[in-house]
Structure 1
């Protein structure tokens, strides 16, 4: 009986492990093979080239620019979504008249297709007849139309703004789950001790909400880092590749230029970045809890 006990847990996780190997490991092996060969436009492997595809990426200024832009994109969207979602979730966790309707309105952007949301924003940001220009001119803030998506100095910040809006509902959902798990007795005891709202938030809410913040940060980072529709539906990485992030750069490299070897190399670089981030963040989180 004792000899069989260590084997049982492995048998129970074996189906999930095999599924993970099929979904994750097998594509990585295939990508590694493609990235180490020269590939024609029909996906047929030719000569073994080793790290030549990675060297070509390193020597491509558009790849380096897309890499840094992806890091800025991810940090700004994930950070902005968390900073926005925390106060929103605190408000929605309160008991007030119309809370159900308010929650529905906050969650609504999450229910709409991300591509459709990006297309609507592209119309709203049109430099000639866009809703944003019309509203700003009506308020007397601007005197002439602004070409929001024709210049990277305005296009990329607006794309970050759109991404924050569509990321907030998912983040609020996670944080509301964490807030509902905090016992009311803790707040009642703190109130009896004379603690104010800010003190209760800093000493009770935030520490107990930290595991949910960690989950939201990791999931949003993976999701935002690979997010394709917003950039592509609004500018397709333009003008002049100035709003490209790694995922749109990969798409252009693979499907427009037909450089499947270099596109596979980009996929492996993206996977490595996310893997390193996740491992480091989980390790730091576990060290703090210990």
Structure 2
């Protein structure tokens, strides 16, 4: 066999490509078949249903509410995570005594199961014996317990805050990798020219950190958009479905209500939304880098 054929890059990546294609495309084809079929709650296909499942999802008021809430959830957590992670990464990138320990402390939450973290927060936010109410009463900030997870006005914002806190370790790791790739010579030259700390950050750090910011935005968007444990472990979409996002609404459709056809249709719609966002964002980011 021709040796050049074996060293061809397309030949080398072909096994991994076909394996990934099988893992991704086969479930998509199965979901597509189920979404176009009439399905009973046991998963048995009863016949072709056309677009009835998609129409049922689109006309469900809960879907539109969950869709809008998912946008708020995703944007709020991703934006908040990026804004808080950049200064944390800048501090951890500095050379100071105990930096290694500080990095370990920041990364530790990443090693804990997200479901366990959400359960701990549910205990802390308990309206009667939660640690947060006890702390706020001890500080004199409140005079009676707040039902954090029992009312829509506080439950969803609190869940967004939890989402930001659990997303920071992963994002800081990405930014630390980006900061370590920036040559120190650039900062030394800027200091010699009399540049301030803000000028060095805005004209050196931020532009060179751009590709890593793009990675963080895309990865966090995918993770947060599909994030299930935080909301399910704290409120299960309640009270009165006021904290449902698409992924919890999908779970209820499939497992609580037994509407597997509609759940499959919603799964494909969510996949299409994420794919569309990723393509658009990556194209805009690449165009910005070329400019």
Which TM-score bucket, shorter chain as reference? over 0.9
Q: Name the SS of the counterpart of 2:210 in structure 1.
A: helix
In structure 1, the residue matched to 2:127 is 127
1:134 and 1:121 map into 2 onto residues whose CA distance is 14
1:15 and 1:167 map into 2 onto residues whose CA distance is 33
1:43 and 1:111 map into 2 onto residues whose CA distance is 36
1:186 and 1:194 map into 2 onto residues whose CA distance is 13
Superposition deviation, residue 10 in structure 1: 2.1
Write out per-residue CA displacement over residues 19-42 of structure 1, whole angstroms, 9 at most, x where no aligned residue.
121111111111010000010111
Q: Is the 8 A contact 2:6 2:12 kept in 1?
A: no
In structure 2, the residue matched to 1:34 is 34
1:25 and 1:64 map into 2 onto residues whose CA distance is 27
> Under a length normalisation based on structure 2, what TM-score does the superposition of the two structures give?
0.97
In structure 2, the residue matched to 1:82 is 82
Q: Superposed, which structure 2 residues align to 1:214-225 within 5 Å?
A: 214-225=214-225
Q: Superposed, which structure 2 residues align to 1:12-31 within 5 Å?
A: 12-31=12-31
1:21 and 1:207 map into 2 onto residues whose CA distance is 35
Q: Superposed, which structure 2 residues align to 1:193-208 within 5 Å?
A: 193-208=193-208
The alignment status of 1:68 with 2:68, answered yes or no, reads yes
Superposition deviation, residue 186 in structure 1: 0.2
In structure 2, the residue matched to 1:212 is 212
Gaps of 5+ in 1: none
Superposition deviation, residue 8 in structure 1: 2.1
Superposition deviation, residue 174 in structure 1: 0.3
In structure 2, the residue matched to 1:177 is 177
Q: Name the SS of the counterpart of 1:150 in structure 2.
A: coil
2:137 and 2:97 map into 1 onto residues whose CA distance is 36
Q: Is the 8 A contact 2:127 2:147 kept in 1?
A: yes
In structure 2, the residue matched to 1:237 is 237
Q: Name the SS of the counterpart of 1:38 in structure 2.
A: strand
The alignment status of 1:283 with 2:269, answered yes or no, reads no
Q: How many residues align?
A: 290
